[in-house]
């Protein structure tokens, strides 16, 4: 059995780190193992213009440990009234890497997201023209659609027509969560690529709801069935170019996670690359780990992979229960905190 593996430094193509003390506490957890990350701050109000993103990027860089060469990549939070000229200017200036589409009210701080798809066609046409990626939270938020079917309905109702209308627009379907989604991505590659989180490959809805409700397994898109979990795991470990790493690590205060209406999002950054490595190792697919973590993402974005490498070693360690945060949010509980896991990055 392989006990050690060296891969090109991975990137996280889907990351939430917030702002202020939370940003300072959480971003270093990603920078310890990843070369770059697509940041989706999900703030209220959102990072929605080039000026917002320049300011946010400066705050992210200030949150990094001294000497870190980690590169934060900015996204534009798409709204009904987003200005195509500002999007293009931000992209050409190297401020924006991509645009993120949240259907309004699909998830944490998405209230300012898209309410009318007819209003964003100008931005999408411009992005198609300039070769800018669209990142999609692919869930249909309609009270008549079951929460477990939100992804499937979105693919039919929104994403398929969008891909037909803008065939030159490269899209990432974020945090893929269903077997139907896996089939859809395969059928629509290479225009479409998709990130897969570690937790959608580890747990199913029985784990979340079957033995007491587990708020720390609650995220959007909601964790689905065992068949979905298996399909996602097979997709990621296939090494196929349309699937790549995006942790969706999403810190929230304990108070927000344990409220009567609890916040969606799981904080995985302290063990993210270790979780992926364990998944690939347990399935006998370590030979595909580098493609999924370090090569397929940059290729979909039209970027070069990192030239540095990281080495992971199989050895047991205990996941910290929480990460301290200065100020009123005080701490963030970690996914699988307190459990023992068996891969670790060598520093």
Nearer to ligand NCD among residue 265 and residue 298 (C-beta): 265
Nearer to ligand NCD among residue 175 and residue 288 (C-beta): 175
User: In the bound complex, what is the minimum distance in angstroms from residue 228's beta carbon to ligand NCD?
Assistant: 16
Is 11 in a helix, a strand, or coil? coil
Q: What is the largest CA-CA distance in the chain?
A: 54
> Which of ligand NCD, Zn ion, none is residue 137 near (CB under 5 to 8 Å by kind)?
ligand NCD
- Helices 84-92 and 121-130 cross at an angle (nearest 10°) of 30
Nearer to Zn ion among residue 110 and residue 188 (C-beta): 110
**248 lies in the binding site for Zn ion (CB under 5 A):** yes
Nearer to ligand NCD among residue 60 and residue 310 (C-beta): 60
Nearer to ligand NCD among residue 219 and residue 236 (C-beta): 219
Task: Output the residue with the shortest Cβ distance to Zn ion.
Answer: 248
**220 lies in the binding site for ligand NCD (CB under 6 A):** yes
- Helices 226-237 and 179-188 cross at an angle (nearest 10°) of 30
Instruction: Report d(CA 250, CA 260) in Å as an integer.
Output: 19
Interacting residue with ligand NCD among 10, 46, 265, 297 (CB under 6 A): 265
Instruction: Report d(CA 90, CA 96) in Å as an integer.
Output: 5
CA distances from 34 to 17, 37, 147, 245, 254 (A): 14, 7, 32, 11, 26
Of 84, 153, 150, give the one whose Cα is nearest residue 120.
84
**178 lies in the binding site for ligand NCD (CB under 6 A):** no
User: In the bound complex, what is the minimum distance in angstroms from residue 199's beta carbon to Zn ion?
Assistant: 11
Nearer to ligand NCD among residue 196 and residue 264 (C-beta): 264
Instruction: Report d(CA 332, CA 322) in Å as an integer.
Output: 5
User: In the bound complex, what is the minimum distance in angstroms from residue 246's beta carbon to Zn ion?
Assistant: 8
Is 289 in a helix, a strand, or coil? helix
Of 208, 230, 124, give the one whose Cα is nearest residue 171.
124
Contact positions with Zn ion (CB under 5 A) in 20-59: none
Phi, then psi, of 310 in degrees rounded to 5: -130, 155
User: In the bound complex, what is the minimum distance in angstroms from residue 206's beta carbon to ligand NCD?
Assistant: 19
Instruction: Report d(CA 240, CA 295) in Å as an integer.
Output: 10
Out of 81, 248, 282, 326, which one is annotated catalytic? 248
Contact positions with ligand NCD (CB under 6 A) in 80-109: 107-108
User: In the bound complex, what is the minimum distance in angstroms from residue 2's beta carbon to Zn ion?
Assistant: 31
Of 185, 187, 312, give the one whose Cα is nearest residue 244.
185
Known catalytic residue at 329: no
Contact positions with ligand NCD (CB under 6 A) in 127-146: 137
Instruction: Report d(CA 5, CA 213) in Å as an integer.
Output: 36
User: In the bound complex, what is the minimum distance in angstroms from residue 248's beta carbon to ligand NCD?
Assistant: 5
Task: Output the residue with the shortest Cβ distance to ligand NCD.
Answer: 265
User: In the bound complex, what is the minimum distance in angstroms from residue 296's beta carbon to ligand NCD?
Assistant: 20
**309-318 β-sheet, strand order:** 4-8, 309-318, 340-345
**12 lies in the binding site for Zn ion (CB under 5 A):** no
| Tokens describing residue 123 | 């931005």
> Which of ligand NCD, Zn ion, none is residue 220 near (CB under 5 to 8 Å by kind)?
ligand NCD
Nearer to ligand NCD among residue 16 and residue 133 (C-beta): 16
Do the strands 171-173 and 96-101 form a parallel or antiparallel pair, or are they unpaired? unpaired
> Which of Zn ion, ligand NCD, none is residue 12 near (CB under 5 to 8 Å by kind)?
none
Instruction: Report d(CA 67, CA 64) in Å as an integer.
Output: 8
Residues with catalytic function: 248
Query: Which residues of this protein are in contact with Zn ion, per CB under 5 A?
Result: 248
Query: Which residues of this protein are in contact with ligand NCD, per CB under 6 A?
Result: 16, 42, 107-108, 137, 175, 219-220, 248, 250, 264-265
């Amino acid at each position: 059995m392989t006990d050690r593996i060296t891969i090109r430094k991975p990137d996280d193509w889907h990351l939430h780190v917030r702002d202020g003390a939370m940003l300072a506490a959480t971003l270093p957890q990603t920078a310890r193992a990843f070369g770059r990350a697509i940041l989706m701050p999900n703030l209220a109000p959102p990072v929605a213009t080039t000026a917002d993103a320049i300011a946010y990027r400066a705050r992210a860089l200030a949150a990094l440990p001294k000497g870190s060469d980690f590169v934060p990549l900015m996204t534009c939070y798409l709204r009904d009234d987003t200005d195509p000229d500002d999007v293009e200017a931000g992209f050409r200036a190297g401020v924006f890497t991509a645009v993120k589409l949240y259907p309004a009210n699909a998830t944490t701080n998405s209230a300012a997201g898209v309410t009318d798809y007819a209003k964003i066609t100008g931005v999408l046409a411009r992005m198609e023209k300039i070769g800018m990626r669209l990142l999609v939270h692919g869930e249909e938020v309609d009270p008549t659609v079951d929460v477990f079917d939100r992804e499937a309905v979105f693919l039919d109702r929104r994403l398929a027509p969008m891909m037909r209308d803008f065939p030159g627009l490269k899209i990432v379907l974020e945090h893929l969560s269903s077997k139907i989604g896996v089939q859809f991505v395969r059928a629509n590659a290479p225009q479409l690529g998709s990130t897969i989180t570690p937790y959608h490959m580890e747990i199913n809805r029985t784990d979340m709801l079957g033995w007491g409700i587990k708020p720390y397994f609650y995220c959007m898109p909601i964790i689905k069935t065992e068949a979905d979990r298996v399909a996602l795991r097979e997709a990621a470990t296939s090494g196929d170019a349309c699937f790549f790493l995006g942790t969706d690590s999403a810190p929230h205060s304990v108070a927000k996670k344990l409220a009567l209406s609890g916040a969606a999002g799981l904080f995985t950054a302290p063990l993210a690359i270790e979780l992926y490595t364990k998944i690939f190792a347990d399935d006998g697919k370590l030979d595909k780990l580098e493609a999924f973590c370090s090569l397929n993402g940059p290729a979909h974005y039209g970027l070069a992979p990192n030239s540095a490498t990281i080495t992971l070693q199989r050895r047991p360690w205990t996941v910290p229960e929480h990460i301290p945060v200065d100020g009123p949010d005080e701490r963030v509980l970690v996914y699988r905190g307190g459990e023992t896991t068996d891969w670790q990055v060598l520093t």
